[in-house]
Amino acid sequence: MSLSVLETPIVSVVTPFYNSGDTLERCIVSVLSQSRTDFEYLLVDNCSSDRGSEIARDYARRDPRIRYLRFEEHVFKARNYNRAVKSISAGTRYCKVVQADDYLYPQCLEQMLEIALRHPNVGVVGARRVAGDVVDPAPTKSVPPVSPGHDICRQVLLGQLYPFGSPTSVLYRADLVRSLRRDFFFDELLYFDDVDVVLDALRTNDFAFCEQVLTYTQRDPVSTFGRVMQYFPGLLNRYMMLRKWGADFFAPQELKSVLDEVAREYYQTLIRASGRGDRAELFKFHRAVLAGGGFRWEFGRALATFAAMASEWVARRVGLRGSS
């Protein structure tokens, strides 16, 4: 297919970036090497000061499918992502975010679009990915090609499966990007904004999954996520998403049972973490994430609850010793 600008590209690919000069070219090349070429590509520059800006400009000059958008106001990550997805063309049917330090395998757009186009009620398409040096979800995890969103979200919230990966791992139907939320797509106050938006979309849409490994997610220890990987973000995410979205996927009594179980696991994890040398940083992270999700007082409640659980455990141990 010619590299001339398409009147109506089927998918908008967007890469929001800030000072990503060390990985951005690899990302861009992976998009331009796709087996399916009927896309537009938006490179959205969050006021970078490194060579990333020039890399993006250079590729935009060479390929008419690329639009380079530079913003002179530097904003935090989620807001730049929202600027990016708001800039997609009106006629595209799908939206694919590719983070600047990640990349796509050549069949990614072709495989994701193939299943999405066959199933119009699919709102989100996922696929296996390589995250660092690990395939995720593991090949042993079975994910149906198409599932009701309600069913797949229940499995995620029950901790049985996590097929959503990272923002790079999924394809969104573009009408959801445009209309799911009035003022923004990604909730700019949430740490787990990508999970939040998928759960929201899947309340009323189906989920499709490609068995192939189609994306790569960099696992950099000094990245934003890399720095908190040892702070139990998966458990914190599940606890928060259950609190926010659980009522959409569980009956009241079932939700209470599931939430009680997850809350207990969460509190016990905090008890064990209280002996760690980095506990101050860990607790600061949890407190900030909970506050951003609208649970400002939840960390205090967690502290009180796990303190009571610890006291109960100590009392039980003392009682056992006294009776021996």
* 273 contact partners, CB below 8 Å, separation of at least 6: 232, 279, 282, 283
Rounded distance between C-alpha atoms, residue 35 and residue 105, angstroms: 9
Least confident stretch, 101-115, 166-180, 300-314: 300-314
Superfamily of domain 11-217: Spore Coat Polysaccharide Biosynthesis Protein SpsA; Chain A (3.90.550.10)
Q: In which band, very low, low, confident or very high, does the pLDDT at 253 lie, cut at 50, 70 and 90?
A: very high
pLDDT for res 2: 43
Q: In which band, very low, low, confident or very high, does the pLDDT at 314 lie, cut at 50, 70 and 90?
A: low
pLDDT in tens, 153-171: 999 999 999 999 999 999 9
pLDDT in tens, 30-78: 999 999 999 999 999 999 999 999 999 999 999 999 999 999 999 999 9
Rounded distance between C-alpha atoms, residue 320 and residue 324, angstroms: 6
Rounded distance between C-alpha atoms, residue 154 and residue 16, angstroms: 31
Least confident stretch, 22-31, 239-248, 286-295: 286-295
Q: What is the DSSP-derived secondary structure letter of residue 40?
A: E
Q: What is the mean pLDDT of residues 293-315?
A: 71
Rounded distance between C-alpha atoms, residue 36 and residue 114, angstroms: 10
Q: What are the two backbone dihedrals, phi and then psi, of residue 110, each rounded to the nearest 5 degrees?
A: -60, -50
Extents of the domains making up the chain: 11-217, 227-323
Q: What are the two backbone dihedrals, phi and then psi, of residue 296, each rounded to the nearest 5 degrees?
A: -55, -40
Q: What does the mean pLDDT of the chain come to? A: 90
Q: In which band, very low, low, confident or very high, does the pLDDT at 307 lie, cut at 50, 70 and 90?
A: low
Q: 36: buried, middle or exposed (CB in 10 Å: 19+, 13-18, 0-12)? A: middle
Strands 122-131 and 134-136: antiparallel
Q: What is the mean pLDDT of residues 225-250?
A: 91
pLDDT for res 303: 67
Q: What are the two backbone dihedrals, phi and then psi, of residue 15, each rounded to the nearest 5 degrees?
A: -125, 100
Q: Pick the residue with more confidence: 158 or 271?
A: 158
